[in-house]
Amino acid sequence: MIYQTIEALQILANIIGSILLFLRPIITPIGEWMVGWITVGMEFLRDNYSTDYTFYIIICVILVVFGIIVNIIWPGDRKGSIFSKSIDKIEVLEDKGEVSGEKDIIDEIKRCKDCGNPIGDSEICPLCGARN
Amino acid sequence: MGSVKNMVRGTIFTAIYVVITIVIPLATFTLLFNFVIQGLPLDFEQQDYNNVVFWIVAFGLMISGFAFFTFSSPKQSIRRAIFALIQVLVNCLYLWSYKFSGAAVISFIIVDFGVMTLNVQQMILMYMGLYFLTIVLKVYDIIDFTINRKKIRENRMKE
């Protein structure tokens, strides 16, 4: 045996053994609990799905397909592709609307032909005195 | 690009899990089934072999499916943590299926020689203990990712 010939491995095995013995009162109930639920799960599968692979293949395929779909929608490094595209479109439309609205208002303001100063309804520019 | 990268990672890990949980155990048991010691064949019961093969393939398929979902999910995401936990639970069933199918205590009848018994029950129980720790860690991950969700998302968007 290799571990009997190499002293370091033997010491390591003794240490691990001691730790396991020390933790035994904790590990045993944990092991029993694990065995309990696993036994119930296995019994259920053995009673209902132990004849063929159909159930397991279906689960596997569903997981893969579901995984692909979820990854396309929510890839993780940015906002979900489908939703983010629609949100981006809305934002672009809103920006365009804001810009065109501002332009319309600016275009409607009457300005002086000489200096470009807004003059409102008056015919004489208050800044340069030019007649418009 | 993020989704493609995720899916490539998921596919790679699925392939790894298929090899680890299905191909290698199947090859091992098939090898054992056809094992010959010094010209004397081992009398390995056909029913035991069929049981072992069934559960290996069945749980192997499930584990591989969960592995795809887990590893194709973004790092530190809640969905990754949840599916990783489910994968560990299925892994426990997979390990335990060895015991139920008679693989924990394998008896070989070597024709004209005697009986050889291989007891791997302690090894499986040790694995169960380790898996309990893994379950605890995965539950901790879910709690951690849920609490720090906003922070994780912000960091991920920056990358």
What is the number of other CB atoms lying within 10 angstroms of the CB of residue B88?
Answer: 19
pLDDT confidence of residue A30: 80
- Which pLDDT value is given to residue B21? 92
In this predicted structure, what is the pLDDT of residue A99?
52
pLDDT at A6 over 80: no
Q: Are B78 and B149 in contact (CB under 8 A)?
A: yes
At A59, the pLDDT band (50, 70, 90 cuts) reads very high
Nearest neighbour of A53 by CB, restricted to B58, B74, B132: B58
Identify the CA nearest to A45 among candidates B87, B131, B14, B96. Answer: B96
Residue A128 lies in a domain: no
Question: Mean per-residue pLDDT for A45-59?
Answer: 90
**Residue A64 one-letter amino acid:** V
Q: What is the pLDDT of residue A36?
A: 85
The pLDDT value recorded for residue B57 is 92
Question: Which is more confidently placed, B133 or B14?
Answer: B14
Q: Looking at beta carbons, which residues of chain B come within 8 Å of A30?
A: 129, 132
d(CA B73, CA B91) in angstroms, rounded, equals: 19
Nearest to A34 among B64, B92, B159 (CB): B92
**Which tens digits make up the pLDDT trace of B94-145?**
988 876 655 666 666 666 677 777 666 666 676 677 778 889 999 999 999 9
Predicted confidence band at A128 (pLDDT cuts at 50, 70, 90)?
confident
Please report whether residue A3 resides in a domain: yes
Its pTM surpasses 0.80: no
Torsion of Cα atoms, B8 then B156 then A66 then A44, to 10°: 100
* Average pLDDT over every residue of A70-87: 68
Q: What is the total count of domains within chain A?
A: 1
Residue of A nearest to B76 (CA): A76
Please judge whether A64 and B100 are an interchain contact, meaning their C-beta atoms are less than 8 angstroms apart: no
Closest chain A C-alpha to B55 CA, distance in angstroms: 8
- Residue A120 pLDDT level (bands cut at 50, 70, 90): confident
Return the pLDDT at B103: 61
Over residues B20-79, the pLDDT tens digits come to 999 998 898 888 777 665 565 655 666 677 888 898 999 999 999 999 999 999 888 899
Residue A107: pLDDT band (50, 70, 90) is low
Distance CA A84, CA A81 (A): 5
Disruptive mutation site among A54, A56, A78 for chain B (greatest number of B CBs within 10 Å): A56
What is the reported pLDDT for B40?
Answer: 59
pLDDT class of A126 with cuts at 50, 70, 90:
confident
Cα(B15)–Cα(B21) distance, integer angstroms: 10
Q: Give the side-chain half-sphere CA count within 13 A for B40.
A: 12
pLDDT > 90 fraction of chain B, expressed in percent and rounded = 36
What pLDDT sits at residue B30?
A: 83
* Contacts (Cβ under 8 Å, ≥6 apart) of A11: none
Confidence check: pLDDT of A4 > 80: no
Measured CA to CA in angstroms, residue B95 lies from A27, A35, A36, A61 at distances of 18, 11, 14, 22
Domain range for B87: 2-158
Contacts of B159 in chain A (CB under 8 A): 77
Contacts of B73 (CB under 8 A, 6+ apart): A67, A70, A71, A76, B6, B10, B79, B80, B83
- Whether residue B12 has pLDDT greater than 70: yes
Euclidean distance between CA atoms B77 and B14, whole angstroms: 19
Choose among A46, A63, A72: nearest Cβ to B68: A63
Chain B residues inside the 8 Å CB shell of A76: 2, 6, 73-75, 77, 156
Q: Report if residue A82 sits inside a domain.
A: no
Q: How many domains does chain B have?
A: 1
Question: CA–CA distance from B150 to each of A76, A83, B83, B146 (Å)?
Answer: 13, 19, 20, 9
Output the pLDDT for position B42.
59
Range of the domain at A42: 1-49
Give the residue with greater pLDDT, A116 vs B43.
Answer: A116
B136 and A26 Cβ atoms separated by less than 8 Å:
no
Q: Is A43 contained in some domain?
A: yes
Structure confidence at residue A17 (pLDDT)? 78
ipTM over 0.85: no
Read off φ and ψ for residue B63, nearest 5 degrees: -60, -40
Residue A110's SS3 state is: coil
- List CB contacts (< 8 A) between B128 and chain A: 31, 34-35, 38
The CA distance from A54 to A61, in Å, is: 11
